[in-house]
Amino acid sequence: MPQQLPSPTEQWIARYEHAVALAQSGNALRAEHELRKLLSEHPGHAQASFFLANVLSTQSRFNAAAKVIETFVANSSDASAIYESSRMLEQYRHVDAALAVLERALLISQSIRAEVLSELRFQAGRLALSLGDFGKARTLLTAALEFAPPLLERHILHALSTSLRYTDRAHPDIALFRSRANDSSASDESKASALFALAKAYDDIDDTHAAAAAWRRANALVSRHSAWSSKSWRRFVKSRLQSAPPPALPTRYDFSPIFIVGLPRTGTTLVSEILSRHPDVTARGELTWIEHFAKQLMQHDQYGESSALRSAASVYAAQLVRDDPLTRWYIDKQPLNFRYLDLVAALFPDAKIVHCVRGERDTALSIWGQYFAGTDGGFAYDFACIAEVMRDCDRLMLHWAAHLPLAIHTVHYEDVVEKPEQTVAALENFLDLPPFDLLAARAKNGAAIQTASVWQVRQPIYHRSVGRWRAYEHLIPELTQFRAER
């Protein structure tokens, strides 16, 4: 009896499984070739598209991966798969494309559950916010609230509060925030989010009494559940101060990394945004790679091993350059990299460090008034912890300056605001940037800002945040433990 031949579908699956096996065995180029042939036959196949995109992204070929995902989206009508596509595009830092994909998903999402629809709208609103399209962001975020579950509501309220500067007590957002903050059935996390949003709105309209009261309630709620340990922090700082710096690798790259460091809320986003306007500078946002490699190398006792350091430098460099046209400078704006500048000095001896500082009372107030994502910001809800981290940031920066051959330049937030021409000129000179009018230039197309400073950084430089603590001195006496000036 003649053997039955596999069907076209079975043949396609066998070819796909062969491509997966090739990738898993380390033959990425052959796997890519096979996957592209398969997708030329079925461009709307989610599994093959996502796998090829992952193969490409592991090689830091994020533009190529994004093209694969965009081709899939153009040939798909699956809203859930399209939503996953947007997540991948955002990961590749194609934020404008990720937003377009989500908007497509919303057009074909009539039959999906209300909670999923809220999630799609929130994610689209969040991306629109990061791109500076505040009108679109508010429309999407407001619609997302309609069926949002409590955890999602917390994020939506925060995003709404950062989408504009309030000028009118009668703005409907303020009533919304107040209602959610006083909802007895809401979780502490949800109420805290609403209170931070409410305080931000009151601060905008200069109702300092109401803002201070809302901040105090919000911080008290978050502190109940904070996992921050001052003891662990002190142990960490002591180990950092006592650690021998790893040996520096030879300089071997055609670009120079710029690390913008300092405490949160000291102007790191503003400085990065100004510098990234230069045609020879590319900003990569707040990368997590330096902390990742530092912890990994310490855990495996490889902090001083040249081979491990070379591997870390190679991966980090690939994440900076990607498959974009090469530029001369790349910015990593992760402010808490001040903890690991010894590793930075080892991986990239020619790196430039921009240390952002700000008046202590303004810094403390701004940190205390912000709801941070993740555990690294766990110190932000108690003034004693803020003071401790602030002192230790200064200690570590002085230590690195004394013991590392790194080029470090300090930028005062107040100088950026009060004398921007001189401050930016000094930065350009420090970084050796070719002449370019950074203050007159606009942000590059598609540049996303994914921090709480998104509204302020999109506005012309203004003075409102300098000396802001004075309006709260009599309402928040804890500020007196900090210096009035740096």
Ranges of the chain with pLDDT below 50: 1, 5, 455, 457
CA dist 367 and 383 (Å) reads 9
Pick the CATH number of 231-481 from 3.40.190.10, 3.40.50.300, 3.40.50.1370, 3.40.50.2020: 3.40.50.300
**How many residues does this entry show for the chain?**
486
CA dist 129 and 120 (Å) reads 14
Domain ranges of the chain: 1-112, 165-225, 231-481
Phi, psi of 129 (to 5 degrees): -60, -45
Q: What's the pLDDT score for residue 210?
A: 98
Q: What's the pLDDT score for residue 1?
A: 44
Hey, is 467 helix, strand or coil? Answer: coil
Q: What's the pLDDT score for residue 410?
A: 98
Which residues make Cβ contacts (< 8 Å) with residue 368, sequence separation at least 6? 215, 219, 380, 381, 383, 386, 476
Q: What's the pLDDT score for residue 459?
A: 53
Q: What's the pLDDT score for residue 374?
A: 74
CA dist 23 and 29 (Å) reads 8
For the chain, helix (H) and strand (E) counts, in that order, are 22, 5
Could you tell me the maximum CA-CA distance found in the chain, to the nearest angstrom?
Answer: 94
CA dist 443 and 164 (Å) reads 19
CA dist 104 and 109 (Å) reads 9
CA dist 138 and 130 (Å) reads 12
The CATH superfamily holding the domain 1-112 is Tetratricopeptide repeat domain (1.25.40.10)
Place of tokens 């974009």: 324
Structure tokens at 42: 């079925």
Do strands 281-283 and 329-332 pair parallel, antiparallel, or not at all (unpaired)? parallel
